[in-house]
Structure 1
Amino acid sequence: MQGLTLPETRASRAIDAVLGRIGRAASWLWVVLLAVIVSNVALRYVFGEGRIEFEELQWHLNSVAFLVAIAYAYQVDAHIRIDLVSSRLHPRAQVWIELYGTLLLTLPFIVVVLVFAMPFVAHSWSVSEISPSPGGLPFRWFLKGVLPGAFLMLLLATLSRLSRLWAYLAAPRSEVGGA
């Protein structure tokens, strides 16, 4: 639904403000990741010393930044979508398709991930899971805990989007460009 402007709601403004701050803050993780990669390369090829902590930190930072970016991309409608059919439809039909797709596909997927992620994280925390690599990073449970956290943020972004879709459908057609 690129190009279609959905009306804001009180809920969407509040949720989007929080997720926007989190997304902008998390975007700095990419800068930190770049610094870690450059440091690791310099240590390995200039000083001949590889550090397992840096290698693990690279994928930890990448994982966290990517997971947070999922919710942010959904919030700002920058995610990949294939609108082969709906792009040819009337805007109101596009909104109905997105509403049903969100209710029947996105929300159930988020719920399934949350249901299965929580025991995964709880077990990791209960055994104080650490890296199996010698010299690896501790607190593996924290990294695993980002998964449900990121999907809770995706749930919030989805609820924000649903409120905007519903506001579009509930508005008089003249207020939404005759759609």
Structure 2
Amino acid sequence: MGLCVVAGLFLTGAVLAIVVLRYGFGTGFIELQDAAAYAFAALMALSIPVTLARGGHVRVEVISERLPQAYLRGADAVALVIFLIPVFGLLIRAFWPDLAYSWSIREGSVETGGLGGLYLVKTALPVAAGLTILQGLAQVLRPAPGKDSA
């Protein structure tokens, strides 16, 4: 969660600086624009597992408030095992060749004079997918509230 906070704060400051530089002084700073884009990518990718861990995901069920807690826990477990884990596993598998190529050439910014290290930013996506899978497994394996775990 700390990385998300840092990325969000940096993104806010960077965008403010970009706007002031562009409209106040008529100049641009490609490195700062790349840094803002990198911070945004990290913020979005790493917010997924944090949101899941804090229970902030969106529920589609409109009648869930009337259902027993045991049903909701079971429905969450089924959804995590059937949907979340396979989808994020597929994301890792599908993105891996592009990520490997990006690392092999040490891919940098698409802008001339921009920041290097785009391959590091691209790494955030499969890392976030892996963390989301781990968080989903942790939720499935977590003992039900009120049960004695001894």
* Length-normalised TM-score, structure 2: 0.89
Task: For residues 6-44 of structure 1, give each alpha carbon's deviation from its aligned partner in whole angstroms, at most 9, with x where no partner exists.
Answer: xxxxxxxxxxxxxxxxx1243121111111111111211
- Give unmatched runs, 5+ long, in structure 1: 1-22
Q: Which residue of 2 aligns with 1:66?
A: 44
Distance 2:59 2:71 in 1: 16
- Check whether the contact 1:53–1:135 (CA below 8 A) recurs between aligned residues: yes
Q: Which has the higher contact order (CA 8 A, sep 6+)?
A: 1
Shift of 1:57: 1.7
Q: In structure 2, which of residues 123, 126, 129 is the aligned counterpart of residue 145 of structure 1?
A: 123
Q: Measure, in 2, the Cα distance between the counterparts of 1:146 and 1:25.
A: 11
Aligned to 2:25, what secondary structure does the other structure show? coil
Structure 2 counterpart of 1:121: 99
TM-score by length of 1: 0.75
2:89 aligns with: 111
Distance 2:14 2:50 in 1: 24
State percent identity of aligned pairs: 23
After superposition, the CA RMSD in angstroms is 1.7
Instruction: Report the count of equivalent residues.
Output: 147
Q: Deviations over 1:25-68 (max 9, x none)?
A: 43121111111111111211222101222222212101101111
Unaligned runs of 5+ in 2: none
Deviation (angstroms), 1:85: 4.3
Name the counterpart of 1:12.
none
Question: For each residue in 1:147-174, what CA deviation from the matched residue of structure 2 results, as whole angstroms up to 9, or x when unmatched?
Answer: 111111112211211112xx22xx8xxx
